[in-house]
Structure 1
Amino acid sequence: MNRRIGNLFIVLAVGLLGLIAMTTYWQVVARSSLAARQANVRLVYRDLAIDRGSIVSSDGVTLAESKPGTLDGRTVYFRHYPTGGLAAQLVGYSSLLAGRAGLERSLDPELTGSTGDLAGVVNSFDRLKGDTVRGDEVVLRLNAAAQKVAMDELTKLGVRGSVVVLDPSNGGILVMASTPTFDPNTGLEQALSDSGSPLLNRATQGLYPPGSTFKVVTAASALDAGVVTPETNFPGPSCIDSGGQKLCNFRDRAYGPHSFGYALVHSINTTFAQVGADLGKDQLEATMRGFGFFSRFPWDYPPEQSLPSGIFNRRGNLIDPSAPIDVPRIAIGQERLLATPLQMAEVAAAVANGGQIVQPEPVQEVRAPDGSVVRRPSPVYLGRAMTTETAATLRELMKQVVDDGTGGAAAVAGLDVAGKTGTAETGTAGKNDAWFIGFAPAEASRFAFAVLVEDVDGTGGDVAAPIAAAVLRALTSQTT
């Protein structure tokens, strides 16, 4: 009898240990995978039970909010996007079916009230008591009025493209437009299969040959290295030989003798190809790294939705540093060089602010449910791309691009605009990627921008520059 009791005790003990082990596994080891499963009922109810914080633009427009409803007799909160596709790629979505993307994902701790600050601790007690958890409100630096103008300008052309505007002093994202777009309220399922890739944030995930806008980087490298001055003379033929192939100016134009400054203002390929050859691979790539190429900007946005710019191999990966490149063609923004609109806006911002690269920042402030400010990000400077003297030289030359060169369509009455056009070959005859980057005002700049329009038969000066002007008019009407 005692032996049977002993055996029964052993069986029960083993069973209890097994139960403890399984409980430990599900609570500790498999906790993250359980939380990731969309079918997990506890997670569904937990997310729906949170009164997720709103996302609001700097000019007071609600971009995302939670609305109460009932489900199985419980009070739940469903996400709603009052402006539809206005800033859908930046704001993202929070969906029980599709998960989270954009700022809805990267700012999830603030929006769900699960940060480590005092408000987050209070929310933890609310969870334990069964009270409604209320997330923090996030106020963006985005200007909704200017964002609408950017979206309208791209949409009326019926094109795929992007507009990015930064505050060059602090990296604030004032505009981040991408077309085509989607309505996160009703269009997620359709967007997943849309051939136009509306879920793609072209500002941060679109990689394009930057064309002549990259000449700003080449010029910064050459001026800093002492390879040229603005007065250095060049012959200006229509074409030169580069690596056994002809490299020509736009429409094969011959310019005759001219200065380096004139070459930037009038975007002369043959001159910049020669400057690239004189610089060499190591010097040009070092300057590119200083501007942020070859790595992802470390900002508050999902990493997979913000791609690095640089020189890519045929597999779509960044090249090995030891790999050979066609430096003259890289110097004019072609070959295997690809950049995001965000990267080129950062190039413009560095010229505008005296040579520094500043981390992109979408958030103006985070407010607790009681209205108190719990976080207000400070500018983060990532390094120096060029000397202050080189930046000053480029500011003057880029102002001439708008006043006397290829960027005249970006002119805005009462505002000194500086910029650089770009018309990049796509490999399809007659189709270009049209660019315009720049900043305004030319001195004490408040706006640095990049405009990219895909697959058009026009030039950057014809297509992209007028969009920049329209957005600048909207921004200055908001700030004057």
Structure 2
Amino acid sequence: MNKQISQVGVAALVLIAALIVGTTYWQTWANAGLADRQDNAIRLVAQFSIKRGKIYASDGTLLAANVTKHVGGQTLYFRRYPTGPIFSDVVGYSTQSRNQTGLERSYNDYLTGSNANLDTVFHATLDRLKGSTVQGNNVYLTLRPGAQALALRELRGKCGAVVAMNPSTGAVYVLASSPPYNPNLIEKHYQQALRSGGKCGALLNRATAGKYQPGSSFKVVTATAALNSGRFTPDSTFYDPGYCEEYGKQVRNAGNPEAPETFGNVTLSTGLVHSINSVFCNIGKAIGAGLIIDYMKRYGFYKLPPLETPENERAASGLYDRHGRLFDPRHPETQVDPGRLAFGQERLQVTPLQMAMVAATVANNGLEVQPYLVQRVVSPHAREINSMMQLVVTGGTGTAAQISGVPVAGKTGTAETGVGDIYTAWFIAFAPADHPKVAVAVVVENQPGGFGGKVSAPIAKDVMEALLR
């Protein structure tokens, strides 16, 4: 009997241990994975009870808004896209049946108020406790509507893409993929949205995931490798008979294959200006495929472009094998044709975003900048906090920071040090409060009876005043 009781006890302990392990797994490690699964029905329904944050272009044009519907006693919020197809490949869509794409997916946590920022967590929790509708954060993009619409008009009827960015900051102004699709059709008229692309296919973001052979635009990368190698200068001379010989065969210049362009004696500079294949073919043979690939990587090839859109909507640029896989050769001297690689052929595949990054790097004197689409994320409560901080300066503890004719928002801080009436005095502020140009923080240590509004606020005022003159 004792043996049976012992066996039952052991079995019970095993079951309890399994329960603890299983519960811990699902609540801790697997929880994040479940939250990320787009087919999690409970999560999807819960998200539509949240007043999703809006998405704006750089000039304030509304790109993604909400439509309120009352279903079964619940207030639900569904997406509407006022600009239709113009920003579809960037903004993407958020629907019940087709889930999410674009920034609607990658910035979902911010748009639904479930990101880990302290302000968002605090206000989302407070809204839930009060039984109020949780509001997501608004997202402002760098895209410029006029130029974006122009790019799509220029591409109308064609399959292609346009990317334009600021070479100094990386701000992306245009990210246009043609043909676009209307995200308002995705929920109920998905097939119609698909057909709108014709033979091109509208749901591929060609700007970030379309892969193309770059041809002679790639000669900029080869020229960089050639000049930096020290073996060539812009004045290095070549003889162009209209072709370059590789592996016993002629690689001809562009133009009529039967009578290719022939330039005779030229320089490297002339070769770039007139896009002479033979010049770059010979450069490739001289410096080797390995060095060209090394400079490709310096320009950002062989890795996903660092953009905020979902990873599966971006593609790396580089050499691809016949199975469509990125190919980084271990022995480029025997695995890659250096002449054809040098003028952008071989098995080279690039995205328009990557080639825009090449142009931007040259424009920025060789310094590669990270492209970005999201200018800022704004809490729906940010304006309320701004207003309260202005009141601190106009009639609260921070009046010493007032600047004549300039609205200032600020907050004092007086931290105890544990030594009598000795304090650490703080003041944070920004101005002008309605169109901020400067934000400041001032801390002063070991102040006897020193409150932030008395000690630090005047310093902040003087610094802001000097910067705003």
Which bracket does the TM-score occupy, shorter chain normalised? 0.7 to 0.9
Write the distance in 1 (CA, Å) between the matches of 2:215 and 2:182: 32
Q: Deviations over 1:314-339 (max 9, x none)?
A: 11112233241000100000010111
Letter matched to residue 294 of structure 2: A
Which structure: larger Rg?
Answer: 2
Match for 2:350 among 339, 345, 351? 339
Tell me the distance in 2 between the aligned counterparts of 1:41 and 1:240.
Answer: 61
What pairs with 1:183-222 in structure 2 (closer than 5 Å)? Answer: 183-187=182-186, 189-190=190-191, 191=193, 195-222=199-226
**Distance apart, 1:45 and its partner CA:** 2.8
> CA 1:295–1:44 in structure 2 vs 1: closer, same or farther (change >3 Å)?
closer
Task: State the alpha-carbon separation in 2 of the partners of residues 280 and 106 from structure 1.
Answer: 40
Verify the 8 A CA contact 1:38 1:96 in the aligned structure 2.
no
Which of these residues, 220, 228, 235, is aligned with residue 239 of structure 2? 235
| Separation in structure 1 between the aligned mates of residue 95 and residue 228 of structure 2, nearest angstrom | 49
1:268-307 → structure 2 map (5 Å cutoff): 268-307=276-315
Distance in 2 between residues matched to 1:15 and 1:229, nearest whole Å: 75
Structure 2 partner of 1:124? 125
Q: 1:18 to 1:125 in 2, by over 3 A?
A: farther
* Pick aligned residue for 1:246 from 238, 250, 268: 250
257, 266, 271: which one aligns with 1:263: 271
* Residue aligning to 1:100: 100
Kindly provide the CA deviation profile for residues 214-235 of structure 1, in whole angstroms up to 9, marking residues without a partner as x: 0011111111112221111111
Counterparts in 2 of 1:40 and 1:128: CA distance versus 1, 3 Å: farther
In structure 1, distance between residues paired with 2:373 and 2:342: 31
**Greater than 6 Å deviation, 4+ residue runs:** 8-22
Which residue identity is paired with 1:225? S
8 Å CA contact 1:142–1:174 kept in 2: the answer is: yes
CA contact (8 A) 2:48 2:77 kept: yes
List aligned pairs for 1:48-59, cutoff 5 A: 48-59=48-59
Note the C-alpha offset of 1:47. 0.5
- Bigger shift: 312-321 or 12-21? 12-21
1:22 positional shift: 6.6
Which one of the candidate residues 302, 317, 328 is aligned to 1:320? 328
Q: Which moved more, 1:25-34 or 1:192-201?
A: 25-34
* Secondary structure at the counterpart of residue 307 of structure 2: coil
Distance 1:73 1:271, change over 3 A: same
Distance 1:186 1:241, change over 3 A: same
1:221 and 1:283 in contact (8 A); partners too: yes
Q: Does 1:145 align with 2:151?
A: no
Q: Does the residue aligned with 2:358 lie in a helix, a strand or coil?
A: helix
Q: 1:283 to 1:129 in 2, by over 3 A?
A: same
The amino acid of 2:184's aligned partner reads N
TM-score (norm: length of structure 1): 0.71
SS of 1:50's equivalent?
A: coil
Q: Does the aligned pair in 2 maintain the 1:142–1:173 contact within 8 Å?
A: yes
CA contact (8 A) 1:215 1:272 kept: yes
Q: Distance in 2 between matches of 1:21 and 1:239?
A: 70
Instruction: Report deviation, 1:244.
Output: 2.6
Whether the 8 Å contact between 1:234 and 1:260 is mirrored in structure 2 is yes
Q: Is the 8 A contact 2:179 2:200 kept in 1?
A: yes
Q: For 2:163, what is the secondary structure of its paired residue?
A: strand
Aligned 8 A contact 1:38 1:97 in 2? no
- C-alpha distance in 2 between matches for 1:325 and 1:12: 64
Q: Give the secondary-structure state (helix, strand or coil) at the position aligned to 1:234.
A: strand
- 1:82 is displaced (CA, Å) by 0.8
The separation in 1 between residues aligned to 2:366 and 2:384, in whole angstroms, is 32
- Report the equivalent of 2:80: 80
Q: Tell whether 2:61 aligns with 1:61.
A: yes
Please report the RMSD computed on the Cα atoms of aligned residues, expressed in angstroms: 2.8
Q: CA deviation at 1:20?
A: 7.0
Q: In the TM superposition, what whole-angstrom CA distance separates every residue of 1:26-77 from its partner, at most 9, and x where no partner exists? A: 5446535654566655323310111111110012211111222111111111
1:248 and 1:14 map into 2 onto residues whose CA distance is 75
Seen in structure 2, the aligned counterparts of structure 1 residues 227 and 136 have a Cα distance that, compared at 3 Å, is same
CA distance in 1, matches of 2:163, 2:48: 33
Amino acid at match of 2:163: V
Output the CA distance in 2 between the equivalents of 1:127 and 1:105: 23
Counterpart residue type for residue 142 of structure 1:
L
3-state SS of the aligned residue for 1:292? coil
Tell me the alpha carbon deviations over residues 417-447 of structure 1, each in whole angstroms, 9 at most, x when there is no partner: xxxxxxxxxxxxxxxxxxxxxxxxxxxxxxx
Q: Is the CA contact 2:180–2:202 (under 8 Å) kept in the aligned structure 1?
A: yes
Q: Are the structure 2 counterparts of residues 372 and 228 from structure 1 closer, same or farther at C-alpha, using a change threshold of 3 Å?
A: farther
Tell me the alpha carbon deviations over residues 246-278 of structure 1, each in whole angstroms, 9 at most, x when there is no partner. 211111111111111111111000011111111
Question: C-alpha displacement at 1:25, in angstroms?
Answer: 5.8
Moved more, 323-332 or 94-103: 94-103
In 1, are the aligned partners of 2:61 and 2:145 still within 8 Å (CA)? Answer: yes
Q: Secondary structure at the match of 2:185?
A: coil
> What SS class does the counterpart of residue 235 from structure 1 fall into?
strand
- How does 1:371-386 map onto structure 2 within 5 Å? 371-372=382-383
1:417-428 equivalences in 2 (<5 Å) = none
User: What SS does the aligned partner of 2:162 have?
Assistant: strand
Q: Helix, strand or coil for the counterpart of 2:47?
A: helix
Q: Is the 8 A contact 2:319 2:328 kept in 1?
A: no
Paired with 1:80 and 1:60, the residues of 2 have a C-alpha distance of: 16
1:432 corresponding residue in structure 2: none
Partner of 2:134: 133
1:118 CA displacement: 3.0
Q: Aligned partner of 1:302: which letter?
A: P
Q: Is the 8 A contact 1:114 1:124 kept in 2?
A: no
Alignment pair present for 1:169 and 2:168: yes
- The change in CA–CA distance for 1:232 and 1:76 in structure 2 (over 3 A counts) is same
Residue 113 of structure 1 contacts residue 119 of structure 1 at CA under 8 Å; is this kept in 2?
A: no
What letter matches 1:327 in structure 2? P
How far is 1:117 from its partner? 2.0
Secondary structure of the residue aligned to 1:76 is: strand
1:153-202 Cα offsets, whole Å, 9 max, x none, are 101xx110000001101111100000111111114622457653211110
Given that residues 310 and 318 in structure 1 are in contact (C-alpha distance below 8 angstroms), is that contact kept between their aligned partners in structure 2?
yes
Q: Deviations over 1:3-31 (max 9, x none)?
A: xxxxx999999999887777656544653
- Cα distance change on mapping 1:227 and 1:16 into 2, 3 Å: closer
2:180 counterpart residue number: 181
